[in-house]
Structure 1
Amino acid sequence: MSKKSKLSIFLLSIVLLFIPHKPVTAMQASPEEYQQEVAASVVQQMGELKVHFLDVGQGDSMLIEAPNGKKVLIDGGRPSAGETVVQYLKNQHISSLDLVISTHPDFDHIGGLVDVLKKVHVKKVIDSGKLYYTDTYHEYMDVIHDKKLPVAIATKETNIDLGRDVSVQILNTYQEFRTNNESSIVILLQYRDTDFLLMGDVETKQEWKLLNKLPTDIEILKVAHHGSDTASSVEFLRHITPEIAILSYGRDNPFGHPVDTVIDNLHQVRATIYSTAKAGNIIISTRGQGYHIEINGKERVEYKATS
């Protein structure tokens, strides 16, 4: 065989390697089956979003682990919960937070952040902008000042980048003459087909203002104000139709949280209800389609929607 022939065969073999081809199968998949296989493949390649609802007693604290690797802590519970949050982060092998969000300055939301800001590396803080003249608030601000942490006041234009296909919208912010609770930062976190609505401690007035900004099929709702009767009207819940409702409160708390009215309203929209008081830490993970719920408490579900 001539050198020229050998070269032609070699070049032909290289070309064949790069020609797309389908494996020979006994039966060709239908278009519908092929689309399902492609969709499943895309989901497998998508990163995972995790939202942790921490058991901090009577208060709020949430951790977001984004598909792009970023870590965001929202609130830190009461001052007594600070070490609990710090230890939880250590257990998750988290030594640095890309962002800490303080939804409003009540001590059951910012108190635990003092320990977090002191003991965990934090890159940036987003604050509601609501001033509050308490010892806890001053301690929180002092730590931010002492550590020279970058601080931004939340606006509806605030950009929080958690990666491709993840949308973070701030829907409620501080305005003059609003109370602490009315000034709570409300966050709509969306990852492809899965929505998380994190309501802070807002009240019914803010719920009504949010209605035209919200989807009508929220998968996961962090119920406002620990299940207080100041929010979670049945009209609001009927609009967003949550599948899962998360309540964060302490056992035997003196406020009567959650009130029966809120539980009844959640039942009316057929939401399945979990609480940190009974379930302990609650972790919801998703790749953008469907979600998985993991809890560590003895009682898996506190209330379940009735048929």
Structure 2
Amino acid sequence: MNHNGLLIIMTLFFCFTVTIADINAIHLARGTGEAEGINQKEMEVHFINVGQGDSTLVKTPNGKTMLIDGGPPSAGEKVVTYLKQQGVTSIDVLVATHPDIDHIGGLITVIKELNVKKIIDSGKIYYTDTYFEYLKQIKDKDIPVSIAKSRSVIEVDSAVSFQVLNTFHWVESNNQSSLVFSLDYKQMDFLLMADVEIKQEKKLIKTFNLQSEFLKVAHHGSVTSTSREFLEKVKPEKAILSYSKDNHYGHPDPTIIENLQQAGATIYSTAKAGDIVVTTNGYSYTIDVSGTKRLVYRSSS
């Protein structure tokens, strides 16, 4: 082979290699928007493993922080430590969905140890030592408190919508009075159901468009919630359950797991996976479970 032929082959090989590299780079970038040259901001939703209880951290695209519930009292230090590990020392909005001990117990430690700027409360009164200690800490720290109103939008970051869907009613139980929220960032929607029951689900179905990619399953997977009728409206891709292993409540109920599976949702639980972190740019998302990331690409078109 002469030098000209060798030169042609080397040139073709170089062009082919560059083309393959470019294609690979585009495929890798699709989930982050880098293929279009766009530096898209991300939102993080952390479902913290607090055992038998609920606690969710939201880090918004513009750096604001929200904490929704704090788990039981025994989880308070875990939540504070977790927040600090995520670089969170100040909470812009703290939400207490309802006064059950497995939701507000850990908030007592959070309020003691971190700077909380504002609290959103259900307004439900509960005559327990834990509830009154929660109120005492708020008073001692002189933190502004607002009672949530249905359909109101919580102002925390203009890039996201954080709307109240269910609020306290005098004749309802703690669970039925739970605050339900929709958290929306561009094309990604989260439905956070606290501990509401089927009665509230029916009201929500009639009032709101509930379709969401992510469903925080109500009441730790109790049979009192998450009906098939409700799931038909939500159409969740992913379902998150927060509960402890071998709890004496029987959570999650096998019927609820079956309902979620029939709805086509992939199920994640803090009992099995530990802390669960969803990161999204509004079009795609990663789910970080026990250090393993899974990328799901969604077109912005």
Q: Which of the five TM-score ranges fits, normalised by the shorter chain? A: 0.7 to 0.9
1:68–1:162 contact (8 Å) kept in structure 2: no
Instruction: Please name the residue that 1:19 is paired with.
Output: none
- Whichever residue aligns with residue 186 of structure 1, its letter is V
CA distance in structure 1 between the aligned counterparts of 2:36 and 2:202, rounded to whole angstroms: 37
CA distance in structure 1 between the aligned counterparts of 2:210 and 2:247, rounded to whole angstroms: 32
Alignment of 1:63-74 (within 5 A): 63-74=57-68
Residue 45 of structure 1 aligns to a residue whose secondary structure is coil
Instruction: Please name the residue that 2:146 is paired with.
Output: 152
- Identity within the alignment, %: 55
Alignment of 1:86-97 (within 5 A): 86-97=80-91
TM-score (norm 1): 0.82
Instruction: Please name the residue that 2:220 is paired with.
Output: 226
- 1:156 deviates by 2.0
- Over 3 Å counting, the alpha-carbon distance change for 1:204 and 1:93 in structure 2 is same
Instruction: Please name the residue that 1:171 is paired with.
Output: 165
- Over 3 Å counting, the alpha-carbon distance change for 1:256 and 1:162 in structure 2 is same
TM-score (norm 2): 0.83
CA distance in structure 1 between the aligned counterparts of 2:194 and 2:269, rounded to whole angstroms: 15
Instruction: Please name the residue that 1:132 is paired with.
Output: 126
CA distance in structure 2 between the aligned counterparts of 1:59 and 1:188, rounded to whole angstroms: 20
- Partner deviation per Cα, 1:164-208 (whole Å, 9 max, x = no partner): 341111000001111000000000001010000000000000000
Instruction: Please name the residue that 2:175 is paired with.
Output: 181
- Partner deviation per Cα, 1:127-146 (whole Å, 9 max, x = no partner): 00000000000100000011
Instruction: Please name the residue that 1:142 is paired with.
Output: 136
Q: Which segments of structure 1 move beyond 6 Å, counting only runs of 4 or more? A: 39-43
2:153–2:161 contact (8 Å) kept in structure 1: no
- 1:247 deviates by 0.2
CA distance in structure 1 between the aligned counterparts of 2:120 and 2:202, rounded to whole angstroms: 25
Q: Which runs of 5+ in 2 are unaligned?
A: 1-29, 295-301
CA distance in structure 2 between the aligned counterparts of 1:49 and 1:214, rounded to whole angstroms: 23
Residue 44 of structure 1 aligns to a residue whose secondary structure is coil
Residue 187 of structure 1 aligns to a residue whose secondary structure is strand
* Rg larger for: 1
- Whichever residue aligns with residue 192 of structure 1, its letter is K
- Whichever residue aligns with residue 97 of structure 2, its letter is T
CA distance in structure 1 between the aligned counterparts of 2:275 and 2:102, rounded to whole angstroms: 17
1:285 is the counterpart of 2:279: yes
Q: Which runs of 5+ in 1 are unaligned?
A: 1-35, 301-307
- Over 3 Å counting, the alpha-carbon distance change for 1:47 and 1:213 in structure 2 is farther
1:43–1:287 contact (8 Å) kept in structure 2: no
Out of 99, 109, 114, the position equivalent to 1:115 is 109
1:60–1:77 contact (8 Å) kept in structure 2: yes
1:201 is the counterpart of 2:220: no
The alignment yields a C-alpha RMSD, in angstroms, of 1.8
Residue 38 of structure 2 aligns to a residue whose secondary structure is helix
